Amino acid sequence: MMQRKSQPEDLASRAGILSGGLWSFGFRVLSALSGMVLVMLVARRLAQADIGRYFSLLSLVSIAAVMASGGVGTAAVKLIAQALAERQMARARGIIDLSLRLLLAGGVVVGAALALPWFRELLRIQMNLRHAISFPLIWLWICASALQSLLAEIFRGMAHLFMASIFGGALNTLITLAAFLALSVFSAPGPLPLNSLIMATALANLASVVIASFCLLILSRRLGGQVSRAWPGFRRVSGPLWATQIVLVILLQADIWILQSMGDSEVVALYGTAVRMTLLLTLPLAVLNAALLPVIAAQHALGRHAALQSLLRDTASLAALPALAAVLLFVLAGHIVLGGLFGEAYRDALPFLLVLSCGQLVNILCGCAGYTLMMTGLQSEMMWITIIFGGLMILCGLLAVHRAGAFGLACTSAVCLAGQSIAMWLRVRQARGLWTHASWNGMVRPLATLRRLR
């Protein structure tokens, strides 16, 4: 009898990987394509040096948004889902309320930092800015980006995958693209000023947040009017996740900042373009992970380690196939791809693209090791692994860029990302007895792999 009862639960868990990820897949693809079109248009309307500064600003916003969030996004997914599963509506509403309050406090702290004259001057020197930029607009961009990410995670915790997917970046990217197109049409011929792009991006983020907030207001009414807050428990979960996210985003963005410190914004433009291209490799894994996260927690809690390992390796196998194809395309026709998408000047980004793609490929082949650590109670270990490799990236990157230039920095970034991924992969095996890497059979028989995840 117990065997019969568990079978539907297994099927339901597996069904969440593909059917639950359909919305995520569609909107992530839409977001990625829209983002690529946006970068292509920006590359053709801004001076190349300003493109480098734009990539530096994107890095600044990413880091500052994580700093402002306090790690509440990932914690909110886990705690809201648990509260709703236990029918504790007041606790779920309390988690939402507490998450928004913490993010508001983080936004105030970030705003205070940007208001400091010496901090602004430091940013101007670091990004080699020749013209004044609007720091109030940058603060609006940071806060709107952080709030948008949190709202998407709240929707995910409430099991509204459609809302989580559309507000996870797709809507914002589409609005930004539309705003930039309107700006390009109605502006004078010639290169656009960087401040115009900052304004369009910040206002697009704000518009997306307003729409997401209205949707959350409607959905949260179903939770009732009572609010139950649990501050200590929330901080125990969000604290390590926050530290992990901060170091991880620094690890992902440090190379841009190290390169920008050398003062050559045109090289930053080439390097940043290569980074944006390599992020496309991670799209399939990110899509599958969006549906896999709650399944990891559930299967681990039930002790179904064999089924969980099968899920992890199957998803890694499916994600590895398009990544391998993309790397092969870069090797065979990278010059053509870069020149056709961004302009002839960006053909010189190929060496960076090839090296960084290798690092991302190792990361993808290792599968969902990092999220497995977080979802099985090992978030502190994930934090320390990330801190160690983040520190190595910054230290070795500073040495490499002075000795071998941007190419040396790209090699350092790729090696540190690959090392971090392998370390997490080995730790999952050691601590939980699970392999997360892609399997050869899963890659050579993709249809059979898809049927297992159906």
- The tally of CA atoms less than 13 A away on the side-chain side of residue 330 is 23
Flag residues of the chain having pLDDT under 70. Answer: 1-26, 71, 126-132, 225-241, 243, 251-252, 263-265, 290-294, 297-298, 301, 446-454
pLDDT of 13: 42
Backbone dihedral region for residue 449 (phi beyond 0: left; psi -120 to 50: alpha; all else: beta): alpha
pLDDT at 21: 54
Using an 8 Å Cβ cutoff, are 423 and 385 in contact? yes
Question: What pLDDT was estimated at residue 449?
Answer: 66
Nearest Cα residue to 249 out of 284, 292, 216, 279: 279
Please name the amino acid found at residue 195.
N
- Identify the pLDDT of residue 257: 74
Q: Which residues contact 138 (CB under 8 A, 6 or more apart)?
A: 57, 60, 61, 114, 198, 202
Token pair, residue 264, equals: 């050559």
Consecutive H or E run containing 233: helix 231-260
How many Å apart are CA 336 and CA 334, to the nearest integer? 5
* Identity at 384, one-letter amino acid code: W
Residue 295 is which amino acid?
Answer: V
Residues 237 and 75 sit within 8 Å (Cβ to Cβ): yes
Helices 22-45 & 48-69 angle (0-180, nearest 10):
140
Q: What is the 3-state secondary structure (H, E, C) of 353-411?
A: HHHHHHHHHHHHHCCCHHHHHHHCCCHHHHHHHHHHHHHHHHHHHHHHHHHHHHHHHHH
Structure tokens at 433: 């007895």
Query: DSSP class of residue 332?
Result: H
